[in-house]
Chains A and B, each alone.
Chain A
Amino acid sequence: MKLMRWGLVLLILVVALPALAATGLRLSFEQLCAGADAIAVVETLSVRSFERDGRILTATTFTVNETLKGELSPTVEVIQLGGRTKTLATRVAGMPTFVPGEKAVVFLERPNDATHFVIYGMQQGKLVIQGEQVMPAVVTMHLLGADGSDVSPFNETAMSLPALRARVIKAKVGEQ
């Protein structure tokens, strides 16, 4: 019975969380590559929510396993709005979240004069790594791009890490 209950809870969670993305522009893979200050293959070291100036923020520290764009130190810190403390939780729809030990490809943005990073494109800027595959943290949605056209989403299917590397390099070349 207990097992069944957990199965049902899991079912709720899976079904109830299909689509979270940025409250802003939909970005193609090339736009993500161009807009991010850095791109890295990372592993989540720690996740810590805390209060500052009356707000709940979450600091996520990553070990950088591979830098695909930009220059990064061996560990980087992302600080974003939202999180959960003992008594309160703040939700910001579209904000990517991480768990310790999780491997991902992250598109990083350094806000003006800040020492921390945020995830560029919000949830669009996080790709999860499962085995040999890299896939978006959000399910596919056909959404409008900046010019009003349906942006061809790269995240229709998963891709391998070498394929992703090649696409980042290609996008970087396209920028130059």
Chain B
Amino acid sequence: MKPLIALIMLWSAPALAFVPTLTCTESGDYACQVNEVPKQVKWKSLCINWYMNEAGTKSIPGAADGTAGQGLEDTIKASFETWNAVTCQDLKLVYGGRTDDDRAATDGKANIVVFRDDDWRFASKTAFAITSVTYNPDTGLIVDADIELNAFYHTFTIGDQDVNIDVQNTITHEVGHFVGLDHTPVPNATMVASAAVGETLKRSLERDDIEGVCSIYPTDARTDACSTPPPHVKTDDTADSGCCTTAPGSPSRTPIYAILAGIGLIILRRRARA
């Protein structure tokens, strides 16, 4: 019963506050089943890799070879870095580079940011972007998250001139979903559901957003750094290499010294038996 009360305290105390993504809801597709208690949807690892689809979008001038320009790449990276810069949380979102993978599959092999220039069919055209967060419904642990930007119906821009649908404004909001936050009722927070054309307010985080992410990944004075993610290519992915690109750079939950100690123990036991 105590954990239940703690949950109530956690989520019900502030009248207007951030909304965590929960494993199940009151009704609808995610309705809690009998005896199912909602859990926080979150990443298990504290180092999460993400990749950008190399194609970018037609509305933002790209490189000579037809791929996304450096300005777009830097803008998307800045959106993720805004969340990394929050000091009261331990999650690190690590950029793994460009990829030819344009799928937003739930397979847990790569977390992708991709512009949809040619099609948009499973969500309303009024959406600027969506983030598909896939998780284990029993544990709440995220296995994959992909951000898709609706360039089929909307024109995206970067920078401060002639702003239309601002990439940084949009992706900074979507990264909030990526880490496990839902829409907040707090006015002016980055996790507020809607945005206006030309809006750039969501490029930065507000107190409500910061409190939200810090409640999910509270700082634990972690000192181990995230390793550099391996490149992700679509062909490797389909070969099912068994790799774990969602979090390959994560500081292992089983520290290396523990593994070495285990091996040492096995050797000692074998020697003792001999």
Residues of chain A whose beta carbon lies under 8 Å from any beta carbon of chain B:
5, 8-27, 35, 47, 49, 51, 53-58, 79-84, 87-99, 109, 111-112, 114, 118-122, 124-125, 139, 141-148
Contact = CB atoms under 8 A, between A and B. Distances in A.
B27 A12 contact: no
A118 B124 CA distance: 6
A119 B4 contact: no
A21 B30 CA distance: 16
B8 interface: yes
A22 B193 contact: yes
A35 B195 CA distance: 18
A81 B119 CA distance: 14
B124 A92 contact: no
B196 interface: yes
A56 B29 CA distance: 12
A52 B150 CA distance: 20
B182 A109 contact: no
Contacts of B29: 47, 49, 58, 82-84, 97-98
Nearest to B174: A23
B122 A54 contact: no
Contacts of B137: 84, 87-89
A139 B193 CA distance: 12
B133 A95 contact: no
At the interface, is chain B mostly helix, strand, loop or mixed?
loop
Given A16-B12, A99-B28, A89 B195 contact: no
Given A56-B134, A145-B196, A16 B20 contact: yes
Contacts of B119: 112
A157 to B, nearest CB: 17
Given A9-B4, A58-B29, 12 more contacts: A9-B37, A12-B11, A21-B183, A27-B126, A83-B29, A84-B29, A87-B136, A109-B124, A112-B119, A112-B152, A118-B122, A148-B197
Contacts of A145: 196
B236 interface: no
Contact of B124 (A54, A120, A141, A142): A120
Given A19-B184, A23-B174, A93-B21, A57 B30 contact: no
Given A8-B4, A91-B41, A24 B11 contact: no
Number of contact residues on B: which range applies?
Answer: 35 or more
Given A54-B105, A54-B107, A92 B196 contact: no
A89 B23 contact: yes
B86 interface: no
Contacts of A91: 21, 30, 41, 132-135
B121 A93 contact: no
A122 B199 contact: no
Contacts of B129: 23-24
B194 A21 contact: yes
B185 interface: yes
A12 B128 contact: no
B198 A148 contact: yes
B88 interface: no
Most buried by A among B21, B31, B106: B106
Contacts of B4: 5, 8-9, 12
Given A17-B19, A18-B19, A97-B27, A92 B192 contact: no
A56 B1 CA distance: 34
A14 B182 CA distance: 15
Given A9-B32, A84-B29, A92-B132, A19 B194 contact: no
Contact of B30 (A15, A23, A89, A119): A89
Contact of B182 (A22, A51, A93): A93
B25 interface: yes
A12 B8 contact: yes
A141 B133 contact: no
B83 to A, nearest CB: 16
